[in-house]
Structures are given as structure tokens and as C-alpha cells.
Structure 1
């Protein structure tokens, strides 16, 4: 058998080769494409051929190498597909799925979303602002005098010093309320304005079961022509009934806030049916949930809004307070400790 016949025979062997498993495919590669494959010695036979036949022989050997590579690729692909099919066939599709632990929303997030949803349905837009705020937007623009107790270091976390005298002052602090978002909105937008401002706030307070150095607020602001105290009361009554039930009763008590006049605190009738009710309402049956009032004309003027043309109301509430009422949580610290045992209780709450 001459060398041409030997190469032709190898090509026929390559084309007819079968390799149903990855191991057989690897054996094929070693035999025909490896560093010591059976085609490599054939090139040495070229020196024994007449010159006129060397070209034809070289082309035949190269064809054998090409056929081997193509066959190897086809066998490798087929074996891989067969292996995948075999693995899929071994799956028991009737077996129960492995249980996956479900995450849960945080009670603060649940409460915030519920409050925001109530106000969004009656036309309030969500506004946001920086948590590191300047003194002007946090205090001065909101009609807080320089000697007001809220400016004292015992209440406020200052991050830099500055002169708290005007909108260009450099004093920076962690915002003590989201009223700063109201100030920024009034500076940038002319009435009508109807916003709510949810977010995290900070106060330098002793951490206890009822208070924390960081917490969350939702504040609301509505400014337009001929807005009245009655409009505010109707809005807050709607909120209370959406939040706590259709039969919820409210009352407004006179209060004082530097950025509203007149000002009030709103209570809801909680009842006196249990010992818990007596404790959280201090035996009155009424429970304070938010502060509110008509925007002080000085605040409107500070923010570039004509107080002769426009009036408005504002309100604010602590989200942790609402969450504690909704879910009967007795210690605010539980909301900041990331205890999985506590958080898992809210896994089924949407």
C-alpha cells in the first residue's frame, strides 16, 4: 500500500468515526490532532516521493488534517448535547422544589409606602432633598429664630460651622426634619404646590424605647390661592380614615411651630378598651399622630412666594410612630437593629 492509499484510508476512517462520549471525543483528538497524531509521520514520507507527486501528496495530507478538525468539532458538539440531554433526563420534575426563604419589607418601608400612596391618590407629588443640609433651608427659611432651642447642639448634628444669617451661609448639618425639602421646593417652584416629602432625619437625642437619634418623617405642603384651615382638616381626616379605618375620629389641638400660624397637633381616637390603650394614650383615649398648621407668611416670603396672593398648609408626622401603632411595636430600637427574628414577622406583608 503506497502512502497515497494510506492517507486516503485515514481520511475514510476519520469521516466514519463515532464518539458518543466525551472520553471517546478526547481519544479521537489525541489520535488525529494531538502532538503525536497519526498524520504527522506521513509528512516525512514526502522525501521519498518523486518531485512531481510531492505537491499532490502535501495537499492530500492537509485535507486529512482539515477533515480531522471538522470531524472533531462535530463530534465534540454532539457529545456535549447528548450529555445535556442525559442530565435533563435524570431530573425528577415531580420532586418538590427546594424551599427558598422569602425576604420581607421593613416595617418602616411598609408604613412609608402606605402613607405616600394615600397622599398620591389625592394629588400630592413626592419631593426629595439632601440629608446633609445647610442652616438656611433647615432653619432660617422655615422662620426658626437664631435663638430657637432647635438650633442648640443638643438637638442638631452640625457637620461644619458657619454663619446662620442668610441663604448663603456655610453652616452644614444633618437635617432635623424634611421641612428643608419644602423650602427648596418653594424656592424652585411657584404655586400651586402640592407635595409630600418622606425621608430620614437626625436629632441628637438619647436613644430609648420611644426615641432615636435617626428616624423618618413624611411632611406635606399645599400652597395655592384661597387655601384654608378647613381644607387642611379635610385632607388630614381623609388620611386618618384611610390609614386607621373608616370610622376614625380626629381632633385638632392648638400648638406652636415656628413655620406655621395657626398651628395644631392632630390626635386620633384610639380608645380605652385594653391596658395597652390606656398606656399609650395616657388614659385619655386620644393619641397624637402629627403636627400641622397654616404656612406662616414669613416662610412664604423667605422662599420667594407672595403671601398676599397665596396661602397654604403644612403637616408632618414620624413614620416610626405610625409603624409602631400599625404593627403594635413597643420599642423603636427594634426598627434599627436588623434582627432577623423581628423582620421575618413582616414577610407576608405586601
Structure 2
């Protein structure tokens, strides 16, 4: 069939009528997009009709081109209006299907708090760091030498009975205190020394309301020329004042530790009761000699405390086991 401007015009009118009819009846966005491609795409029906313009007389082409643009604009306008209507309908249906019940309780992400043990440990460390001490840590598995012998506790010493621990098959053991950290540090450093050693320790204790086979200690060590028992008492008093937030009645009682001489137990009067809270003393000369320090030149003092004991006193906790059971009813109080 011969292609003329009239035949192209008729085809364009037919395309417009057909397109508008199909667009009006379509009910989905997916089908609407298929119609757009079918009629107005690069290989669509409109493009196929316009290819025939190359066979027209040049004087007829502007008219046919203008008419084709009008058809395209009419079809595109109908597509846009239908797109708007279908999109709105889809959104409305989605809102209705996903309706929000504002009377339902909202979902919240619970914020955690620092565990009372960690909080107590951090508070103690902050105080000693403020007094000029630096934190030092060491291994949990120790040799007999570092855990006992270097601390003036030979194999036949009765003090070992008080620190019965867990031994490994190779003869090493789980440390019973953080005092080995002091030996490690002194072997690698020369005085003046001021360190605070926090960490977990292990003893073969029967678990009850005040004892645990695994617990946490913090020890301090100061070694320098001319340190005396007065320096130790002043340090302990200042630490307790800052920790409890007030000047408390304090008692220093004579005691015994193999690695200090003299050795002292410290009691404080808290809420009307006397509580034993820490041990301390001047570093035994044998310990200084074990790490190569001359006890005629250097003296030192050490103190140690249980983090659990301080946490229990501070927060009025009646059973040490509460600190390890991960019971939210207990932990949420802090």
C-alpha cells in the first residue's frame, strides 16, 4: 500500500484511540509500563508509523510530524494521569493493609548499664590513677615462682594453704592474686614505681554468700627511696575518703602476709558497722631482693582489696553470687 500523509494520519488517529482505550482500562502499574513501551518506546508503534515519513514528499512531512507530536502528547498525558491514579490507589491499599494501631505499646531498645563490678573497679582505678599510679596487668596462668616463691612464699610455707588454687598438668596454676603482676613489672622496671594491678583471680574456695572460686582483685605497689609506713597510711586514707565520699573512722590492725612486713588489715566503720575491707603493708625486703632491688636503698608498700567486697559494701548487696548470675531483676537496679 502506498504511504501518503492521509494514511499516516489515519494510522496515528487509530493509535491514539487504541492507546487511550487500553490505558483507561489497565489496572496495574506493571501493565501501564508495558503499554508505554508498546506505544511510545523506541521500538514502539508510534516509532514504526513515523518510519514511513521518509517516503513522503518533503512538503508533507512537517504536517505529519506535527500531528504525530500531538498524538504522542495526548497519549503521554493519559499515561501520566493513569500513573498518578494507580500509584495513589496502591499507596492507599498499602496504608490500609499496614495500618498502625497507635494504642499498642511501642518497641523499645533497652539501654544497658555498666555492671556493678565493672563500675566499682573503674571507680577504684580512677582514684589511684588520680594519685599518680599507672595500670598494669598480667597473665591469669602463672608459674609457681611468680605466684608464690618470688613473693616470699616457699613450697613448704603454710600461707599456701590459704591460697589453694587450680593447678595445670604442666605445673603452672591459675593465679591466686594479682601480686605476680608486681613481680613481672619490677623485673622490667627500676624505681620509682607506682602501679595498680586489677584482674580476675582464682582460689579453690567453697562458694557461699561471701566467697567465690573466681573473684576480682586490685592491688597497688609503690617502690621508691624513703617510703615509710606513713606514706602507706596516707595513701589508704585518701583512697577510702575518695571512694566513700567522706572521712570514715578507720582502724589499722596488725596482721600477717608473707610478702609484707609489717602487715596490716584495714577496717572502716560504714553505716554503723566495722568492716574489714583490705590488707596492706610494707614490701618485705626478700621480695625486693628477688627482683634485684637493694632493700637498703629502696622501700615500698603494697595494698590489695577485693572488688566484690567493695561493690557489696557500696551497694548493700547481701550475697556475692548475685554479681555473677546475670539476673536482670538484680542488674537493672544499677
Same-fold call, TM cutoff 0.5: yes
Does the 8 Å contact 2:140/2:174 carry over to 1?
Answer: yes
Question: Cα deviation per residue 1:237-277 (whole Å; 9 max; x = unaligned)?
Answer: 11122222423121211211111111111111236x5xxx4
Residues 115 and 331, structure 2, Cα contact 8 Å, conserved in 1: yes
Give deviations 1:139-197, integer Å, cap 9, x for gaps: 222121112345469811112333xxxxxxxx2x2111111111111112211111111
Q: Is the 8 A contact 2:288 2:295 kept in 1?
A: yes
Match of 1:289 in 2: 277
Larger Rg: 2
The residue that corresponds to 2:198 in the other structure is: 198
Aligned to 1:158: 167
Equivalences, count: 288
Q: 2: distance between equivalents of 1:137 and 1:37?
A: 88
RMSD after superposition: 4.2
Q: Deviations over 1:287-319 (max 9, x none)?
A: 211110111122122223332321110000011
Distance 2:190 2:327 in 1: 45
For the 8 Å contact 1:240–1:250, the answer to whether it is kept is no
- The structural deviation recorded for 1:41 is 6.7
Post-superposition shift, 1:37? 8.0
Indicate the residue corresponding to 1:215 in structure 2: 215
Supply the distance in 2 between the matched residues of 1:28 and 1:132 (Cα, whole angstroms).
73
Equivalence map 1:100-119=2 (5 Å): 100-119=109-128
Tell me which of 313, 327, 333 is aligned to 2:301: 313
Name the structure 2 match of 1:248. Answer: 248
Pair 192,206 (structure 1): closer, same or farther in 2 beyond 3 Å: same
Tell me, yes or no, if structure 1 residue 143 matches structure 2 residue 131. no
**CA deviation digits over 1:19-55, x for unaligned, max 9?**
xxxx97644543355xx78755769979x989999xx
In the superposition, the TM-score normalised over structure 1's length comes to: 0.68
Unaligned runs of 5+ in 1: 18-22, 54-67, 163-170, 278-285
- What's the counterpart of residue 73 of structure 2? none
Is the partner of 1:128 in helix, strand or coil?
A: coil
Aligned match of 1:224: 224
> Which blocks of at least 5 consecutive residues in structure 2 are unaligned?
1-6, 57-75
Contact kept, 8 Å, 1:150 with 1:156, in 2: the verdict is no
1:76-91 equivalent positions in 2, closer than 5 A: none
Residue in 2 that maps onto 1:189: 189
Tell me the residue number matched to 2:310: 322
- Equivalent in the alignment of 1:62: none
Conserved? CA contact 2:152–2:286, under 8 Å: yes
1:207 Cα deviation from its structure 2 partner: 0.3
Q: Which moved more, 1:297-306 or 1:179-188?
A: 297-306
Task: Give the structure 1 partner of residue 61 of structure 2.
Answer: none
Q: Which residue of 1 aligns with 2:35?
A: 31
SS in 2 for 1:159: coil
Describe the SS at the equivalent of 1:194. Answer: strand
- Relative contact order, CA 8 A, sep 6+: which one is greater? 1
Q: Decide whether the 8 Å contact of 1:222 with 1:314 is kept in 2.
A: yes
Could you say what secondary structure the match of 2:261 adopts? strand
Kindly indicate whether residue 308 of structure 2 is the aligned counterpart of residue 332 of structure 1: no
CA–CA distance in structure 2, aligned partners of residues 153 and 264 of structure 1 = 17
Higher alpha-carbon deviation: 311-320 or 120-129 = 120-129
